[in-house]
Structure 1
């Protein structure tokens, strides 16, 4: 199986070495689009006011656009360490043992707005660009540029795909029918009813990835994942549609009175 994650708006700074686009996976297929998006991003980032509008920056984070102007000389970190926030905090990659970390490196990819689909182990710099950003110099929405660039992606090489990406990032590289399943997260209330989650949706997805990495069990479909979840105390349900299933979680649930 292979897990697809969204990136995060926030990113850890620092790292070692220097960034080289040739070090990223799928450099042959995605290299031209990466260069095109990077050029347009650097162009917009050179104007502070334009960058704030295009990248959705506020007063507190306007300085993040400057990261886009020093990509070549900035240090790199593996993507799974670069991204931060609720989902990645739940994975807590630095506390996984060596076997679990190897599983993540081999079975997890991230859908970046700047680099396209990258491996969890790919060395990336800190940057600022989201799926909803508009780059005037690109001449087309990111969705169109990346959709075309990923058209030749060999999905078969990934095996069965567990898609945990948000809608905006999934739109950059849509999962073909029959190649995997999309996961939604709900919470069961005291009366048995379920409701969708927002903030804790990410925490539940990160926790699921951590559990999968820690068990390192080979899974090849939704049925096997549901069975694995049952054995590990997770409630996973088929549906509501084809190629979809649901994780029912207690993460973020209010404490029940005794």
Structure 2
């Protein structure tokens, strides 16, 4: 099983420690792309401040984020599971996972990233600011943005075989960078009783589902098993078959479970 998490906009900057070692990150076939993205981001951050803010989608008051991006190769790094924060990671609560579940997380979880492609939770990275929708001065300039720029490398690097299960908890912009062709894909969504998406609570729902999957005595092997783990008794869970061949199964958390505060 492979669990794909989104990055978080908010990140906890490591206070100390050696800098990132690109060669040590998971899936070393991505190193060349990582080096190119990192170099482009640092060039952007060291240039015109207004241009950098616009390219990164930041406001004038977020200049500190640009300054941080200008020195990522020298910045202290820490495990990605400690650097990424935000609602999903609060509800996943990696630090409190039982030992067996924590080992499973280290082996089965990847975090999508516009800068790194993907990282494992134990991969040491600095805090950075780069969303998949940002515009980097890459050479040659990519067509279709960072998602399409990463797509060929991720397709070559990530596991994708019939019979495998991929639990995709990413947002759409990160999912656009890679989707399995052969493995069974399962997505998790949240909606209210009227069928309206509850986007502001989807991250909390996905964080709780990820935790239950990692804590399970056996990793789920089917979409139905994921749906069973998603049901915590606080609401209803529906399982929808793919709308088209090769599409994703959808585990839909309905009603109170989507709005519960837990975690």
Q: TM-score, normalised by structure 1?
A: 0.87
Q: Do the aligned residues in 2 keep the contact of 1:51 with 1:65 (CA within 8 Å)?
A: yes
Q: Secondary structure at the match of 1:84?
A: coil
Aligned counterparts, 1:70-219, within 5 A: 70-138=71-139, 139-140=141-142, 141-156=145-160, 159-172=164-177, 174-189=178-193, 193-219=194-220
Q: Measure how far apart 1:229 and its partner are.
A: 4.2
In structure 1, C-alpha distance between the alignment counterparts of 2:216 and 2:22, rounded to whole Å: 32
Q: Do the aligned residues in 1 keep the contact of 2:160 with 2:180 (CA within 8 Å)?
A: no
Of residues 126-135 and 137-146 in structure 1, the stretch that sits farther from structure 2 once superposed is 137-146
- Structure 1: state its 5+ residue gaps: none
Q: Measure how far apart 1:119 and its partner are.
A: 1.2
Q: 1:7 to 1:254 in 2, by over 3 A?
A: closer
Q: Measure how far apart 1:228 and its partner are.
A: 4.1
Q: CA RMSD in A?
A: 2.3
Cα-to-partner distance string for 1:51-101 (whole Å, 9 max, x where unaligned): 101101113322111122222222212112211111111111122222221
Provide the aligned length of Structure 1 versus Structure 2: 249
Q: Which residue of 2 aligns with 1:6?
A: 6
Is residue 253 of structure 2 the alignment partner of residue 253 of structure 1? Answer: no
Aligned counterparts, 1:22-33, within 5 A: 22-27=23-28, 29-33=29-33
Q: Do the aligned residues in 2 keep the contact of 1:103 with 1:216 (CA within 8 Å)?
A: no
Q: Measure how far apart 1:225 and its partner are.
A: 2.0
- Structure 2: state its 5+ residue gaps: none
Q: Do the aligned residues in 1 keep the contact of 2:148 with 2:176 (CA within 8 Å)?
A: no
Q: Do the aligned residues in 2 keep the contact of 1:18 with 1:72 (CA within 8 Å)?
A: yes
Cα-to-partner distance string for 1:13-70 (whole Å, 9 max, x where unaligned): 115222110110111x111111111111111111222210110111332211112222
Question: Residue 238 of structure 1 is aligned with which of 237, 240, 250?
Answer: 240
Q: TM-score, normalised by structure 2?
A: 0.86
The structure 1 segments of at least 4 consecutive aligned residues displaced by more than 6 Å after TM superposition are none
In structure 1, C-alpha distance between the alignment counterparts of 2:238 and 2:61, rounded to whole Å: 39
